[in-house]
Amino acid sequence: MIIQDIEIVNFGPFFGVQKVNFNNGGLGVHLIRGRNGDGKTSIQRSILWCLYGIVKDRNGKDIKPTSLLNYTARKRDIYDFYVNLSFRHEGSTWLLHRRMQGKSHSDREYTTHMNLSLTKNGEVITNPAQVIQRMIPSDISRFFFFDGEMLSDYEELLYTDVDTKFLKNSIESVLGIPYLKTSREDVRIVQKMIESQRNKILRRLGGKEFDEILKQYDEVQGNIDQCEKNIEAMGNQLTELETDLFSKKRDLSKIDSIKKLSLDRIRLESEIKNLQSKREMELTKRSQYTSQLYKKVLTGTSQSLISKLQGMHDRVMEKYDKKQKLLGEKDLISKGMAEQKCRTCGTILNEAKLNDLRSQLREIDIKIDALTEIPEPNLEFEEYAEVLRKVISFDGRKESIIEIQNRIDNVDYEIATKKSQLNSIRESLAGQDEEEPKRIEMQIRDIEHEKGRIEGSMTAERDTLNEFRKLKSELDQKITSIDQSELKVLGKRIETTKAIIQILEEAIGEYREQKKLEVQNEATQIFRQIKSKDSFDHLQINDQYGLGIVTNSGTVLDRGELRSSGEEQVVALSLIGALNKCANTDVAVFMDTPMGRLDEVISEKVLRFIPKLAEQVTLLVTGKELRHGDEKFLEGKIMSDLTVKHINEEEGSKIYHTREGDTV
């Protein structure tokens, strides 16, 4: 399946029509960039919803239809959302359309009025849901549309003491093992159909001997049916217990890590606080730069304003100084006249000199009067001039503001990432108490005890079943010995079905081992291309398809605590890659946040490997995962480069072709 176009309408964060067109007919590598919360995962979910009508959240729970409708659509009473998916599959062009439309905003309304249609080369196909299930069974979709945040699930496969049946079954589905199991069960039912046909003939023949055989046969068959039913019921009980056990053990390991989580919480809280202070500082800086940048525009005006102000100020100061000098002179003369003595040399002043001084005083008064209009010098002048000088000297470039904005964006991203980590830690820590581990341990013991009891009963039931089958076989021989051609033919057919069942039984085990080895080899090949350390040699698969790292010296790192989270992700990606290579079907691969836990060196290796993963690979990545310039590692295989961006609450998210300078 190669996806060519997706049309998303009023789904999740997308209001109205949003389209994703994959160039090159869908072949090659396609990028969908976006920040956390912009809508990348929703694109992937829209595909899964279109295919299967169900979308699960990261806790594995179904998302309700009412939660799928876009917020703005709901606000505007538009209770209608749909997804169109066009793709190529086995040489044909397909168009899948799924729509939910209701008169009101209720899950029931949407589910009742769900519409699904499928066309193949323009012709309408009946039973579209079944056709899609035949193409890609929903239980294997997780390997083709996978979520990087969920890669830790694959780590559970390593723990052989934890039964991860559901995951193991999905892996076996990808590898095609259920085909053999279904074939065996179908042939088993066919065997019963032929037996029933034969018994009818026997009844028709009549006679005491035949009646006796038939009676015994019916009895044995009844017992076999009952045994099979019991074994099936016990098998279901065991699956439930194993799932329960898995979840309890997971809870317990979570509790064990509470101390570490608490420390992580404190560290994250402090880091977020520091980042928020950093953000505040950058915001202030941005505001200053913006204001200065506006002022910069006024540089010319400022310069002439300073000159004018300086001229005015100088003139005022000159007159002011002159007036002050005259006032000093007046004071000196006045005091001399009062004392009738020269203030400089002490000579006694006669009347003529006094008259001369009076005349001087009058002249000075006239001059002072002329200067009376002169105001006091403006003391704020220097302050204003300094502000204007700063405006001129400011090296305000638009780039500086962009740099600050980039720093703010990076801080925002870091805060968002850390907050999300903090929230998940808080969720894990919520409601924990000291007695909880003991309680869980007791529950685990109870479950294991019950599991052991059922397993014992199952073994006994299987023994009984084998006994009944032996009896049935003996009766079969008796019937075959009856000289009746029709019965002989049916007998041969029954023998054939038995032989086929036996071959298929053997084939299941053998094919499983063959595929397991293949997965191990493929995963090792991928691992060697993307591994983080030279000392890692190869991968080793266990019965649950978990992969252990084997070092050059032969040490097996098969426990999570022996490997870093980045190494875990590399191993998980190797498994995913190997399953895609070994899968019995060719499907497009969508990888949501595949490199979240990887450093730059490993990311580069993963990127170089990605084009070889499948015919169509779509990467849904953040700017932290695919850094500027990383595109070169995809070696010219990028066929589409799209960005999804959340505009605002009203408009929701939009998908567009990535433009130069877009930051995500």
Partner 1 sequence: MKEEEIIEAVKKINARNGKPVDEELLAQIIALVMKNPIDEDRQRCQSQILEIINQKKGEAD
Q: In this structure, are residues 315 and 377 in contact, taking their beta carbons and an 8 Å threshold?
A: no
Q: Any idea what DSSP says for residue 156?
A: G
Min separation Cβ 134 and partner 1, Å: 6
Contact yes or no for 269/418 (Cβ under 8 A): no
| Residue 489 in contact with partner 1, rule: CB under 8 A | yes
Stretch that binds partner 1, among 190-198, 564-572, 608-616, 646-654 (CB under 8 A): 190-198
Residue list 73-132, contact with partner 1 (CB under 8 A) = 127, 130
Q: How far apart are CA 583 and CA 591, in angstroms?
A: 17
Binding part of the chain for partner 1, among 17-25, 348-356, 397-405, 486-494 by CB under 8 A, reads 486-494
> What is the chain's length?
664
Three-state SS for 176? Answer: coil
Query: Is residue 134 near partner 1 by the rule CB under 8 A?
Result: yes
Count residues near partner 1 (CB under 8 A): 37
d(CA 264, CA 268): 6
Q: Which is nearer to partner 1, 513 or 651 (CB)?
A: 513
Q: Is 503 an interacting residue with respect to partner 1 (CB under 8 A)?
A: yes
536-541 vs 145-147, strand pairing mode: unpaired
Determine the interface stretch with partner 1 among 96-104, 501-509, 522-530, 606-614 (rule: CB under 8 A).
501-509
In the complex, the smallest distance separating the C-beta of residue 174 from partner 1, rounded to whole angstroms, is: 10
Q: Which is nearer to partner 1, 583 or 620 (CB)?
A: 583
Which of 17, 124, 193, 402 touches partner 1 by CB under 8 A? Answer: 193
Q: What does the DSSP 8-state code read for residue 349?
A: P
Query: What mask, x for binding partner 1 by CB under 8 A, covers residues 194 to 213?
Result: x-------------------
182 binds partner 1 (CB under 8 A): yes
Half-sphere exposure of 503 (CA within 13 A, CB side): 8
Residue 223 buriedness (CB in 10 A; 0-12 / 13-18 / 19+): middle
> Shortest approach of partner 1 to residue 520 CB, angstroms?
17
> Which of 524, 580, 560 is closest to 153 using CA atoms?
560
Kindly tell me which residue out of 496, 540, 542, 565 binds partner 1, with binding defined by CB under 8 A: 496
CA 258 to chain centre: 24
Q: How far apart are CA 192 and CA 151, in angstroms?
A: 44
Question: Counting contacts by CB under 8 A, is residue 133 touching partner 1?
Answer: yes
Rounded Cα distance between 258 and 264, Å, is 9
CA atoms within 13 A on the CB side of 595: 24
Cβ-based nearer residue to partner 1, 6 or 487: 487
The least distance separating partner 1 from the CB of residue 239, rounded to whole angstroms, comes to: 17
d(CA 380, CA 214): 120
Site string for partner 1, 305-344 (x = CB under 8 A): ----------------------------------------
How near is the Cβ of 516 to partner 1 at its closest, in Å?
13
| Bridge partners of residue 94, in order along the sequence | 87, 120
Contact letters for partner 1, residues 595-614 (x by CB under 8 A): --------------------
Give whichever of 140 and 238 is closer to partner 1, judged by the CB atom. Answer: 140
Closest CA to 459 of 243, 238, 231, 239: 231
Find the binder of partner 1 among 281, 361, 392, 500 (CB under 8 A). Answer: 500
* Residue nearer to partner 1 on the CB measure, 257 or 477: 477
The yes or no reply on residue 517 touching partner 1 (CB under 8 A) is: no
The region of 305-313, 384-392, 464-472, 509-517 touching partner 1 under the rule CB under 8 A is 509-517
Task: Name, in order, each residue with C-beta under 8 angstroms of 413's C-beta and a sequence gap of 6 or more.
Answer: 35, 36, 622, 623, 624
Query: Under rule CB under 8 A, which residues in 142-161 are in contact with partner 1?
Result: none
Residues 204-263 that bind partner 1 (CB under 8 A): none
Q: Could you give the string, one character per residue 558-597, with x where binding to partner 1 holds by CB under 8 A and - elsewhere?
A: -------------------------xxxx-----------
CB pairs under 8 A, 24+ apart, for 316-323? 316/374, 316/375, 316/377, 316/378, 317/377, 319/371, 319/374, 320/374, 320/376, 320/377, 322/371, 323/368, 323/371, 323/374
If you write DSSP's letter for every residue of 616-646 in order, what string do you get? EEEEEE-TTTS-TTGGGGGTT-EEEEEEEEE
In whole angstroms, how close is the CB of 180 to partner 1 at the nearest point? 7
Which residues make up the interface to partner 1 (CB under 8 A)? 127, 130, 133-134, 137, 176, 178-180, 182-183, 186-187, 189-190, 193-194, 485, 489, 492-493, 496-497, 499-500, 502-504, 506-507, 510-511, 514, 583-586
